[in-house]
Amino acid sequence: MSQILLVEDDPIVRLAYTKVLRTSGLELDTASNGAEALEKVRHGQFDAVVSDINMPGLSGIELLRAVRELSLDVPVVLVTGGPALETAVRAVEYGAYRYLTKPVDIDALRDTVHRAAEAGERARRRRETAAGAPLPALAPSEDELQLAERFDAALERLWIAFQPIVSGGRRSLFGYEALVRSDAELGRPDQLLAAAERLARLADLGRAIRARVAAEALDAPPGALLFVNLHARDLEDPELLDPHSPLSRVARRVVLEITERTALVEVSDIGAKVERLRSLGYRLAVDDLGAGYAGLASFASIQPEVVKLDMSLVRGVNGNVLKQSVVRSMVRLAEELGILVISEGIESREERETLAALGCDLFQGYLFGKPARGFLPPVL
């Protein structure tokens, strides 16, 4: 069972997080401040650390730095009530796993910490193996066999929904994001991804998605780009880099949108793989900028042509001065690097108008069209 250290100075918040994480199957230790947490890290073994940033004494950023001096591969999830670009840059420097903004969505907290714990467990297993303690191969459990059957059924009934991306200034279609769906039991994208990771079948899922997008690409409106989500570990799949693969045949119309960027550290020769993709005609995008520090950290390794502002920054941006400041800073940074910015999750005209005033031109969200079968025209 994964061992997590939770660091939170507010006792009410700490109690709430503890209940959520323990009921989701995680073994939890807690600390009420950064100094106490650091002492526990020095004398214990944790698969992940979850820490508030703004704490008296040793802050979350300072704790992260101290943890990195002890271990380079223990994932640290940061929680903040006031995201700022300066803090993000410092967290990138010290290798934060991800951060969540308060008030924290419970499902996001649970999912993020589980993923961080899994990454920490993999790192620990690598250390144990390197130290000469090979782990025994285990036969698949009955639960895994049943999950594999449901996963196969989901792949057979997999389909793609397309959501439009528009240019506000030109009032025209820019492209579509391809979103995976299935009519089987594992119908939601998060369920499919979780099953693929547990079964070590990310390559099967990635290939199925890319093949279906390629099959529908010929029906896309002329000039519209297709944004296809790509798990970082898909970069290890030779099929992705094959010029004869289905998606490579339409690569010049495709923007590969990197997800799960924290897994990029496990990809070998990432620079060569990125250049290979570009030589095939693909462009690259980083999603969820503003949702986690990994978005900024991936700039150096991916050097994307496109970034997407996370919907946590977009929602209600018209009434939130802090969000406006963060968006303005990120748009300015992207412009300096020659990167296009897409704001996703837009649901109101007020959000769109505010984002346009902050320098954004490319938009995605229910205001312009919901994900649907086929390439439906956007609402402009």
Extents of the domains making up the chain:
3-130, 142-304
The predicted structure's pLDDT at residue 135: 46
Give the Cα separation of 304 and 29 in Å (integer).
38
Dmax over CA atoms of the chain, in Å, equals 61
- pLDDT for 224-255, tens place per residue? 999 999 988 899 899 999 999 999 999 999 99
For a pLDDT cut of 90, what percent of the chain falls above it? 45
State the average pLDDT over residues 245-273: 84
Q: Which residue has the higher pLDDT, 69 or 162?
A: 162
The predicted structure's pLDDT at residue 91: 64
Sign of the alpha-carbon torsion through 111, 113, 114, 118: positive
Is the pLDDT at 260 greater than 70, yes or no?
Answer: no
The predicted structure's pLDDT at residue 120: 80
The predicted structure's pLDDT at residue 271: 86
Instruction: Tell which CATH architecture fits domain 142-304.
Output: Alpha-Beta Barrel (3.20)
Lowest average pLDDT, out of 20-29, 98-107, 136-145, goes to 136-145
> Under a CB-based contact definition with an 8 Å cutoff, are residues 373 and 158 in contact?
no
Is the pLDDT at 83 greater than 70, yes or no?
Answer: no
- pLDDT for 303-315, tens place per residue? 899 998 878 788 8
The predicted structure's pLDDT at residue 176: 98
Task: Give the confidence band of 293 by pLDDT, cuts at 50, 70, 90.
Answer: very low
SS (H, E, C) 74-95: CCEEEEECCCCHHHHHHHHHHC
The predicted structure's pLDDT at residue 25: 83
Task: Give the confidence band of 173 by pLDDT, cuts at 50, 70, 90.
Answer: very high
The predicted structure's pLDDT at residue 217: 95
Q: Which residue has the higher pLDDT, 203 or 292?
A: 203
Q: Which of 103-112, 216-225, 279-288 has the highest mean pLDDT?
A: 216-225
> Under a CB-based contact definition with an 8 Å cutoff, are residues 290 and 326 in contact?
yes
- pLDDT for 9-60, tens place per residue? 989 999 999 998 998 888 899 999 999 999 999 988 888 999 998 888 888 8
Is the pLDDT at 7 greater than 90, yes or no?
Answer: yes
- pLDDT for 330-369, tens place per residue? 888 888 888 999 999 999 999 999 999 999 999 999 999 9
Is the pLDDT at 138 greater than 60, yes or no?
Answer: no
- DSSP label at 102? S
Task: Give the confidence band of 197 by pLDDT, cuts at 50, 70, 90.
Answer: confident
- The distance in angstroms from the start CA to the end CA of the chain is 50
- The token duo for 138 is 């285990």
Give the Cα separation of 255 and 252 in Å (integer).
8
Neighbours of 356 (CB within 10 A): 14
Lowest average pLDDT, out of 24-28, 179-183, 265-269, 283-287, goes to 265-269
Closest CA to 216 of 159, 147, 153: 159
- The token duo for 43 is 């004398």
Look up the pTM and report it: 0.69
Q: In degrees rounded to 5, what are phi and psi of residue 77?
A: -100, 125
| Helix axes of 85-94 and 321-336: crossing angle, nearest 10 degrees | 60
Give the Cα separation of 2 and 74 in Å (integer).
12
Which CATH code is given to the segment(s) 3-130?
A: 3.40.50.2300
State the average pLDDT over residues 265-270: 76
